[in-house]
């Protein structure tokens, strides 16, 4: 195999002699297995010459989380919200995100930060919450809570005022089928808070 990790290439990486690497191979050292399993000669050579590995530098795990969770979120939003949704409910919904933006650190260690945040939010806003809206709200949160990274996503978009959904299209068309309009809704309802 032309791309096999040789003792010579590993010796450059570990800053030791090829004979020392051979000794590690003979002793079945875990580090050798690790590098052989996850790296090839080209990758190690790239690192040795540039001090980086381009394919790892270009990969952003957080972007993947945001992208995947945003699709889940928008699907739930489109399914659970109707154009006829009462203003009070949407106002409450987006006020909750403003609450997350300000208070998210208080809930990070909770087993279910989404529900802990909603409980605190409900207590703080108990005079504004209509009972049937709580049931609708909790149903939405239950769906969101199934996804392990949803809390991270909701904190991220809250901290950034839903700018993630703003693709530069501003308007009053509040069609829920479009993610950009989610941003417009957030701006509209938070300007009234």
Q: Give residue-wise pLDDT tens across range 40-89.
A: 899 999 999 999 888 776 666 666 767 777 777 777 766 666 555 666 67
For tokens 């941003």, the residue is 183
Reply yes or no on whether the pLDDT at 16 is more than 90.
yes
The predicted pLDDT at position 179 comes to 44
More confident residue, 5 or 70: 5
Confidence band, pLDDT 50/70/90 cuts, at residue 15: very high
Confidence band, pLDDT 50/70/90 cuts, at residue 95: confident
Calpha distance 168→180 (Å, rounded): 8
Q: How far is CA 19 from the centre of its chain?
A: 45
In contact, 10 and 44? CB cutoff 8 Å? yes
50's tokens: 């540039």
pLDDT, tens only, 177-193 = 444 455 566 556 555 54
In contact, 42 and 3? CB cutoff 8 Å? yes
Let me know the angle formed at the C-alpha of 143 by 131 and 64, rounded to the nearest 5 degrees: 135
pLDDT, tens only, 128-178 = 777 767 777 787 788 888 887 788 888 887 887 766 555 444 433 334 344
Closest CA to 158 of 105, 98, 106: 98
Report the range of poorest mean pLDDT among 5-9, 31-35, 108-112: 108-112
129's tokens: 């919450």
Secondary structure letter of residue 168 according to DSSP: S
């Amino acid at each position: 195999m032309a791309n096999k990790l040789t003792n010579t290439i590993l010796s450059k990486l570990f800053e030791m002699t090829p004979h020392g690497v051979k000794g590690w191979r003979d002793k079945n050292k875990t580090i050798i297995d690790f590098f052989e399993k996850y790296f090839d000669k080209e990758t190690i050579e790239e690192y040795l010459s540039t001090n980086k590995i381009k394919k790892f530098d270009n990969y952003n795990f957080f972007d993947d989380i945001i992208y995947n969770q945003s699709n889940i979120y928008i699907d739930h939003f489109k399914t659970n919200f109707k154009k006829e949704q009462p203003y009070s409910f949407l106002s409450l919904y987006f006020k909750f995100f403003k609450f997350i933006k300000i208070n998210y650190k208080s809930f990070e260690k909770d087993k279910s930060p989404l529900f802990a945040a909603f409980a605190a939010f409900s207590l703080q806003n108990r005079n504004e919450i209509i009972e049937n809206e709580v049931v609708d709200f909790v149903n939405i949160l239950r769906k969101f809570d199934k996804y392990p990274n949803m809390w991270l996503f909701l904190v991220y978009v809250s901290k950034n005022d839903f700018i993630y959904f703003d693709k530069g299209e501003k308007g009053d068309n509040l069609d829920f089928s479009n993610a950009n309009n989610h941003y417009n809704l957030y701006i509209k309802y938070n300007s009234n808070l």
